Amino acid sequence: MQQFDYDYLIIGQGIGGTSVAWHLHHLGKSFLIAGDSSMPSSSRVAAGIFNPLTGKKLVKTWLADDLFPYAQSFYANLEDKLACKLMHLTPIYRPFRSIEEQNTYLAQTADPGIRPYIGGTPDPRTELPYVHADFGGLEVVQSGWIDLPALLDASRLYFKNEYVESVVNATDLVREDDCILWKGKKFKTVIFSQGFFALENNWFNWLPFTPVKGQILEIVPDVPVKPYIINQGIFALPVAENRMKVGATYSWDPLDWQPTDAATEELESKLKGLLSTGYTLVGAQAGIRPSVRDRRPLIGIHPEFSNVSIFNGLGTKGVTLAPFLANEFCNHLIYGKELNPLVNIKRYFSLYFR
């Protein structure tokens, strides 16, 4: 019988790889996580917002009724285990841009599928005097943000005996029919969770990634801000009473990790329409989201090699998708349970075999 040093080798320690590690840990499986903290990471740039109602038309997030309860339970359990604050339940305030939008949105709140995610109607004149809200606004609940750097750092410390600081390319691994070899160790299966860097992975570079660059700003408002995420076109996320993150942009050229003056100007221009108070700009960060052509994650087992798998393409909704789908993925790997066909990479096998 084949003897393995570890059941799984996880390549990447962003929100995807970390969520998979926690689920494997819970299921009693052995694993090694290989990460390179010197490389840029979209998980460390992302604001970590979770929002059940998105878009101009107030659309319920895909699988929201399953994703949000699972994610909140997952992060609450990690807070207890890691003894640190990770999850910030924070309502989202969406200012109406016109009377017409006010009427449209308020009519939509009668939808039974949307109603559980609608809160009260805070008076912006008293609650949010620093927000442009001449027509009032809508409060979205079961929302908030995850402190992703804190989550990743605390998880790495917890798994310090299972973590290796290392640059890993797919070509560094030797695949045999019964195992994966890396640095003299034998693994039953490798899981690639590399974010944007999957485009350089010769096992999975045929998948239809459509990466997109995003930039966020950090500002110090002139007045104290309340614990409401303000969202209309862009978001203004209060991470403290005197500090906010503002984002995000979407651009495709160039795909690099450097903030630009053009993106800063774009965000500041939109911010003037959102906040009525002044502020001081104190920082800017950029990241590359591992987005996908059909806006669904890329999860599953390689079409030819059963010991090579991927958990990637979580995009802008990674903090809610990662926990739920990591559970589905681990049950797929271990027990053969079927994956949701909308995330299973089987939907793209024709690209590999053409």
288-346 pLDDT, tens digit each: 999 999 999 999 999 999 999 999 999 889 999 999 999 999 999 999 999 999 999 99
CA 67 to chain centre: 12
Residues 228, 96 share a domain: yes
- β-bridge pairing 185-192 and 308-312: parallel
Q: CB neighbours (10 Å) of residue 196?
A: 23
Residues 40, 153 share a domain: yes
pLDDT, residue 2, reads 65
pLDDT, residue 120, reads 87
Residue 302 lies in domain: 6-45+149-208+293-353
Residues 257, 165 share a domain: no
pLDDT, residue 316, reads 86
Residues 162, 121 share a domain: no
CATH code (residue 279): 3.30.9.10
Give domain status of residue 256, yes or no: yes
CATH code (residue 196): 3.50.50.60
Residues 200, 115 share a domain: no
39-70 pLDDT, tens digit each: 889 999 999 999 999 887 888 999 999 999 99
Residues 216, 203 share a domain: no
Q: Give me the residues paired with residue 224 across strands.
A: none
Give per-residue burial for 118-146: e unless 16+ CB within 10 Å, then b.
beeebebeebbebbbbeebbbbbbbbbbb
Residues 216, 177 share a domain: no
Residues 185, 133 share a domain: no
Low-confidence ranges of the chain (pLDDT < 70): 1-2
Q: Is there a contact between 247 and 232 (Cβ–Cβ < 8 Å)?
A: no
pLDDT, residue 242, reads 96
Residues 218, 284 share a domain: yes
Give domain status of residue 64, yes or no: no
Give domain status of residue 38, yes or no: yes
Tokens of 248: 């995000």
How many domains is the chain partitioned into structurally?
2
Residues 222, 199 share a domain: no
Residues 333, 220 share a domain: no
